[in-house]
Chain A
Amino acid sequence: MFGLLALAALVLVGCRQDMHNQAKFEPYEKSDFFLDGSSARVPPAFTVARDSVDPTSSIYTGEDDNGWMSAVPYVVDEAFLHRGQQRFDIYCSPCHDNTGAGNGMIVQRGFKQPPSYHEQRLRDMPIGYFYNVATNGYGLMSGYKAQVKLQDRWAIAAWVRVLQRSQNVPEGSLSAPDREQLRHDLQNAESSTASAHAAGAP
């Protein structure tokens, strides 16, 4: 048995890891070469990445000559809005919650509550404003340009508009069947509340 262990030890000592750990850097691998110990480098000053957008252009700043842009500089179709919803739910809903009311989990755990998208001041804001906040942050909120791509930030801004609309549809703008459905739902809600009260529920 001792002989076997000795043999195994010999064989294992023979195992080298040169091919496993080659003289190249994997992403974010530690480096002994650079002073900060990181193999990942930041772009040198006064350079831009090949696919980057001119940081003074409207599509990047969200502003044009008249102030905040009032339209999304992309084709807004269903797929674009769904993308916005998905990105919103990933990056924004932790604080703003899925409806935009501002009761997300991080707020419940102590982060300052953001304003609801459904207050009049924000309903009146041009869409470029929401794009800008998503990009550069506002108050305690950090900017998300490092985490969310340019087009996705516009998609998120578009989704914020959808959320605002979803909570504030004038009854007169509904189609007749939708209006009928709404009346029906409201009646149901009222009667179920009434019966719940009757049953002694708060």
Chain B
Amino acid sequence: MTDNKPETAQIFGKGSNQVVWLTIILGLAGVAGAGALLFIIDRGPLHTNQGVYVNQDVPFSHDHHTEGLGLDCRYCHTSVEDSAFAGIPPTATCMNCHKTVWANTEMLEPVRDSWQTGQPLEWNRVNDLPDFVYFNHSIHVSSGVGCESCHGPVNEMPLVYQEHSLQMRWCLECHRSPEDFVRPKDEVFNLDWEPSDEGMSQKELGKKLVAEYGLEPKQNCSTCHR
């Protein structure tokens, strides 16, 4: 009886091997695909907001005020040279000029309201680092890191967008090789500056400046995550 086991008692049918291969391949593809999907989402503007224009109640144009009128960044961002925070100007700074220039336009209605009531204007933040990252503007500005290196061509932005991902790997690009980014200290606020203005390539000039300024950007975890 035990010798005559019928063939139909086989557990696996003829196609079983194919099913197994298909499962393995689709499974691997699924894992890889999910990984790739996460990778793409993580680095893209969906997650980082990179390149996304941010709307404001008052459509303030950096392009107009800097390229058009020639104002220096520091006219409004007064604390950028000696504090962690660059500073958002109080309404009083707007009113230095706008008490008489464009003083009746609808566009500036919220500014005048703020001036009369003392209630600060609300601005929507563009470049927002996570709260577990310590960042200080003054040390970067005084080391020869131009505004443009992080903020992009703000002087040509009617509405501001975030130029870079602000992810850690992006910070480290410069902390690992500052010579690729550093510029002369008196050109930090000049967003039209090019390394060719000094008659050198960025690499040559950068190496010279890194030595001259004694730059040793740290890569310790605790430098930024303190």
Give the interface of A toward B (CB within 8 A). 3-4, 7-8, 11-12, 19-22, 24, 26-28, 30, 36-38, 40, 89-91, 94, 105-106, 109-112, 140, 142, 146-148
Q: Do B72 and A90 touch (CB < 8 A)?
A: yes
Q: Do B100 and A90 touch (CB < 8 A)?
A: no
Of the candidates A24, A36, A106, the one whose C-beta lies within 8 Å of that of B97 is: A106
A12: chain B residues at CB < 8 Å are 41
Task: Report how far A87 CA is from B178 CA in the complex, Å.
Answer: 28
Chain B residue with Cβ nearest A29:
B125
A-B contact count (CB 8 A): 74
Return B32 CB to nearest CB of chain A, in Å.
Answer: 10
Return A133 CB to nearest CB of chain B, in Å.
Answer: 14
CB<8 Å pairs between A and B, sample of 7: A21-B131, A28-B120, A40-B120, A91-B75, A109-B101, A146-B92, A147-B78
Of the candidates A8, A30, A105, the one whose C-beta lies within 8 Å of that of B69 is: A105
Q: Do A26 and B131 touch (CB < 8 A)?
A: yes
Give the interface of B toward A (CB within 8 A). 30, 33-34, 37-38, 41, 69-72, 74-75, 78, 84-85, 88, 90, 92-93, 95-97, 99-101, 119-120, 122, 130-132
Known: A19-B130, A111-B100. A89 touches B72 (CB 8 A): yes
B122: chain A residues at CB < 8 Å are 30, 37
Task: Report how far A112 CA is from B99 CA in the complex, Å.
Answer: 11
B37: chain A residues at CB < 8 Å are 4, 8
B69: chain A residues at CB < 8 Å are 94, 105-106, 109
Chain A residue with Cβ nearest B29:
A4
Q: Do A110 and B72 touch (CB < 8 A)?
A: no
Q: Do A142 and B95 touch (CB < 8 A)?
A: yes
B92: chain A residues at CB < 8 Å are 142, 146
Of the candidates A3, A19, A94, A146, the one whose C-beta lies within 8 Å of that of B90 is: A146
Chain B residue with Cβ nearest A90:
B72
Chain A residue with Cβ nearest B93:
A147
For the complex of A and B, list the 4 residue pairs with the smallest distance between their C-beta atoms, beginning with the closest.
A22-B131, A20-B130, A90-B72, A27-B85
Task: Report how far A41 CA is from B128 CA in the complex, Å.
Answer: 21
Q: Do A90 and B74 touch (CB < 8 A)?
A: yes
